[in-house]
Amino acid sequence: MSMRIKAVVDKFVQELKEALDADIQDRIMKEREMQSYIQEREREVAEREAAWKAELSRREAEIARQEARLKMEKENLEKEKSVLMGTASNQDNQDGALEITVSERGLELAQSRENMEAILTYNHQRADGQGFEVEARRPILHPSSLLFDVKRFGARADGRTDDSKAFIAAWKEACRATGKVKLLVPKGVYLIGPVKFAGPCKNVSSLTVYMKGYLKATAKLSRYGSGTGWVEFGWLERLTLTGGGTFDGQGAKAWPYNNCTTDSKCKLLPTNVKFVAMNQTVVQGITSLNSKFFHIALVECKNFKGTEIKISAPADSPNTDGIHVERSSNVCISRSLIGTGDDCISIGQGNSQVTITRIRCGPGHGISVGSLGRYENEGDVSGLVVRDCAISGTMNGIRIKTWANSPGSSAATNMTFENIVMKNVTNPIIIDQSYCPFSSCISTEPSKVKLSDIYFKQIRGTSSSAVAVALECSEGIPCQNIFLENVHLELSTGEKQATSSCKNVRARLSSAQKSMESESEMVAFPLLLTPIESNYRACTIPYRFPSDNPKKPTPTELQWIDLFLNSIPSFKKRAESDTTVPDAPVRAEKFAQRYGDVLEDFKKDPESHGGPPDCILLCRLREIILRELGFIDIFKRVKDEENAKAISLFKDVVQLNDAIKDDSKRLENLVRGIFAGNIFDLGSAELAEVFSKDGMSFLASCQNLVPRPWVIDDLDAFKVKWSKKSWKKVVIFVDNSGADIILGILPFARELLRHGTQVVLAANDMPSINDVTYTELIEIIAKLKDENGQLMGVDTSNLLIANSGNDLPVIDLTRVSQMLAYLASDADLVVLEGMGRGIETNLYAQFKCDSLKIGMVKHPEVAQFLGGRLYDCVFKYNEVVS
């Protein structure tokens, strides 16, 4: 038995040994094959390297021979030049030409040597995982061409010396050349004024500008003409602009002088890079920074291709359109990053076959068509395609804008906007055929620009306003064939679906936005206690009682009539200085006379002019007369000034608040800030007089308020509820521009956002004294946000802005916009801020949720009614217990 077992084991061991031997032989064979393979590849690489070195040596020898021949030719030319020195002046010109010829040949050789010395690294990966590198100098051959280096013409590239003459001299010689021409701007910082690279260059077959340097524009505005380009290319064929260089317009120094938002006859600042009457142009890989006006403009160009362009300017920089196209055809703009203070891309009049793809836009005003219809004889727009773009944090997404009162007829048709992603965009899709950026516009006739065959497809994302799609078309020529297909836009908060509105439009919807209703109808504020008709009275002060004689004004009515009479001189003065209105002084006098007559009529018959008079009627009649005379916003200039001052202080005010660690004390400081901001009310005659005499400081005003207890003081009760951080949504009716909204309300709203509360800011639809409007508030917040969309480190995705539908400094809550009603329906705190909205009206209004009325008493009549003092504070808080 043991012998049998031993035989089996011996056999197994023998078979195992044979198998191992076979495996070892196989491994040895494979290793030899691998070594042979590696040696063969190494021989190939060595042979290739030897061939490259031999070719390099041959080329270097050829260059040496050419240099020697060039040297000899130059010596001969010098001899000829010395002989010709005494000849006529035209001979001098010939000598110059000979010198230029020699210089050009030298530059060619220099370029050839640079190309020869290009380093290429080849990586060879061995089978055993180890690698080695072969570094070889391989000649790169280029077709023969002329190269003009701006440094050879005297450019210093030190960032201080004006190099304009060197650029112009280099260009003149390049344009005179023949064949393929290259203009080189090497790396360095170049300070230049306005330069024009103008053609035609008759003998140039193609022209390439290698912009490798950093160009800085001179800040002297006197050197630029209105509407010109800083760097301008014109009347050229087959131009390529490339090289990765930068055009820095130094716009920050010029933006304060841009008054085009208020003056239709303003001087236009220069565009960074302007192309005029070009054909077959390619722009690739350049950067435009901080332009004084537009970054890039195309005027009367054909066959233009722009790609990999970077454009950057602050969100508040005025009129810094990224790329503006006008009267051009066959234009393609793609794969570019644009963030600026106005339209990322604007398509003006007279364009056809324009394609825009793969653009990242934001900040800015989105991608716009228009404005159209401002001037006579404008060309039509057709064949526009915008596709595969991302728009983030902008005021608008896709916007089409045409002027009312257009002097001539034109059309915009056959336009497609497809596969576009919106993120936190205020107006994702908007058609506005009553466009006017100036405060002096009086719409008497509908727009004559016909919009038709417009397609919005596959548009998705989030809107920061309730109305994500707003189509407001011309009453005279309604929009036709507007198609919305697979349009899905939600509120940034995700709580409710965004809505849409249509006016004078024939649209076809396919899986598109829901709730396409008119936004023009006013509705009651949904959180007022019902029945509204029996309980709600807008005006706080009882102007008359049932027992009063309807034919005689009451003492209270007479007080308020006199109050408005006394304000006429200050309103007249502001109207006289409104530069946007023709014959402003004459019209201001008419306003004073007409409004004065209306107020005197009330003294005789309180039922005249729709009376009896109260604060709402008196305000409304004043605004009606101003607007009938062309005065849309007589406080515009001072509002802009106060906004700029307040924005500069915003960071300091927020940091002071954040430094207070105790929640209760920080809240009280925020409340004091609201009162201090509300002091800055130029609509109040008393405060306007104080400002004109000695001015006021916001921070000082915070400390110098009337001491507590105030005339109405529920702050302690509010503190208790505040500490619970239980409000999910707060609606705040805002008041004035400047310090009021920026230094008072916005820090308060920011603190609520930090609590996780959603905040809806409701602002006026139209200007009224110095109150902030819906559009102005959007611009203010855009300027205050950082590049991440935050407000001093606080996320603003829960901050919404709503149009209240109101156009007065007081408000009747039975008439608000549908937008506001929609957003406010589930709020659990309503804040009415300011004397007009929270004291003169709505002080005793009752709501279904908690409410706060906060403001400063700025009229003696109101102070007397409340039993307080002038400049006393009202902080009226009502908590609704579920």
Catalytic residues: 365
Q: Which run of H or E residues covers position 242?
A: strand 237-242
Q: Phi/psi at 275 (nearest 5 deg)? A: -115, 125
282 vs 240: CA distance, rounded Å = 5
Establish how many alpha carbons lie within 13 A of residue 437's alpha carbon, considering only the half-sphere containing its beta carbon: 16
Of the candidates 485, 489, 483, 459, the one whose C-alpha atom is nearest the C-alpha of residue 471 is: 483
| CA 95/CA 101 separation, integer angstroms | 10
The alpha helices in 680-796, defined as continuous H runs, are 685-694, 698-703, 715-724, 739, 746-754, 774-784
Closest residue by Cα to residue 252 from 340, 343, 313: 313
d(CA 352, CA 341): 26
Q: Is 282 helix (H, G, I), strand (E, B) or coil?
A: strand
Q: Give the closest residue to 224 by CA, choosing from 303, 305, 293.
A: 293
CA distance 491 to 375: 37
Provide the total of helices (H) and of strands (E) in the chain, helices listed first.
Answer: 18, 41
Instruction: Report how far Cα 345 is from the mean position of its chain's Cα atoms.
Output: 11
Contact status, residue 205 vs residue 224, Cβ threshold 8 Å: no
Q: Which residue has the tokens 């009280």?
A: 668
406's tokens:
């257009």
> What is the C-alpha separation between 715 and 665, in angstroms, rounded?
11
- Assess contact for 642 and 737: CB atoms under 8 A: yes
d(CA 151, CA 189): 12
Gap between the Cα atoms of 633 and 440, Å rounded: 8
| Start-to-end Cα distance in the chain | 98
Query: What is the C-alpha separation between 175 and 182, in angstroms, rounded?
Result: 10
Give φ, ψ of 573 to 5 degrees: -60, -40
Whether 241 contacts 217, CB under 8 Å: no
Contact at 8 Å (CB) between 455 and 384? no
Q: What are the backbone angles phi and psi of residue 812, rounded to the nearest 5°? A: -100, 110
Report the distance separating Cα 337 and Cα 876, nearest Å. Answer: 49
Question: Which two structure tokens, joined as six digits, stand for 429?
Answer: 């899709």
* DSSP type of residue 628: H
Residues paired with residue 843 on neighbouring β-strands, in sequence order:
none
CA dihedral 654, 756, 390, 308 (to 10 degrees): 40
